Amino acid sequence: MPHVRAELWSTVRTERLRLADDLETLEPADWARPTLCGTWDVEDVVAHLTAAATVTPGRWVRSIVAAGFRPAVHNQRRLREQRGPTPDQTLDRFRAVVTSTVAPSSHTAAYLGEVLVHAQDIRRPLGIATEPAVEALTPVAEFYAANNFTVPSRTHADGLRLTADDGPFTAGTGPSVTGSTLALVMALAGRAVYLDELGGPGVPDLRRAVERSAARNA
């Protein structure tokens, strides 16, 4: 529905701007700090977010073909394109795409998820307290529980009853996993550190699913 997509893109813009404002507070050394996103440092993640906002469907197809259908190679190439000579220039490039609605596909909730998850990938290790609103997180939680897209989130959620204790999100059947919408989104995205913020008899199953995915991608 066009109005739903428009609302999601508005939220994407808001969350990009909030992240950019947080990045303005970083010390130079912070840009090389590790994140929750594998081997990428802060500057890598910011460059990746810029790249995601500049790749059209046609360009994505050409890039993934050139990368031999290896998403990691595609992502690394696009990241290098958007990483500036200095962190300030990398941030300038990110600010330049804050209002972009360019994306490789029409899965707008997934691209909102990219912004929300990667923002926390940066903020949590740096001790930045900013968190997305529940209203921003809920459509991402719903998308993640129903789809394997950029992350195997539906696989992580299989056989579990997920319930947010701070918002309306609920999905699935099976052993219960309960917690904040943010912790549920981040756990479904494979960020194991957030599993400790969840409760319920289904948490061990979710932990095993996340660990299996991490082992496959190691």
Average pLDDT over residues 167-172: 98
Homologous superfamily, domain 2-126:
dinb family like domain (1.20.120.450)
Separation between Cα atoms, residue 70 and residue 117, nearest integer Å? 21
Q: Report which DSSP code applies to 129.
A: -
Instruction: Give phi and psi for 153, each to the nearest 5.
Output: -65, -40
Give domain limits for the chain. 2-126, 134-217
Average pLDDT over residues 53-73: 68
Average pLDDT over residues 69-75: 66
Question: What's residue 145's pLDDT?
Answer: 98
Query: Which residues, other chains included, contact 205 with Cβ-Cβ below 8 Å and sequence gap of 6+?
Result: 159, 160, 174, 175
Tens digit of each residue's pLDDT (9 = 90 or more) over 33-59: 999 999 999 999 999 999 999 987 667
Tens digit of each residue's pLDDT (9 = 90 or more) over 79-89: 788 899 999 99
Architecture field, domain 134-217 = 2-Layer Sandwich (3.30)
Tens digit of each residue's pLDDT (9 = 90 or more) over 3-27: 678 999 999 999 999 999 999 999 9
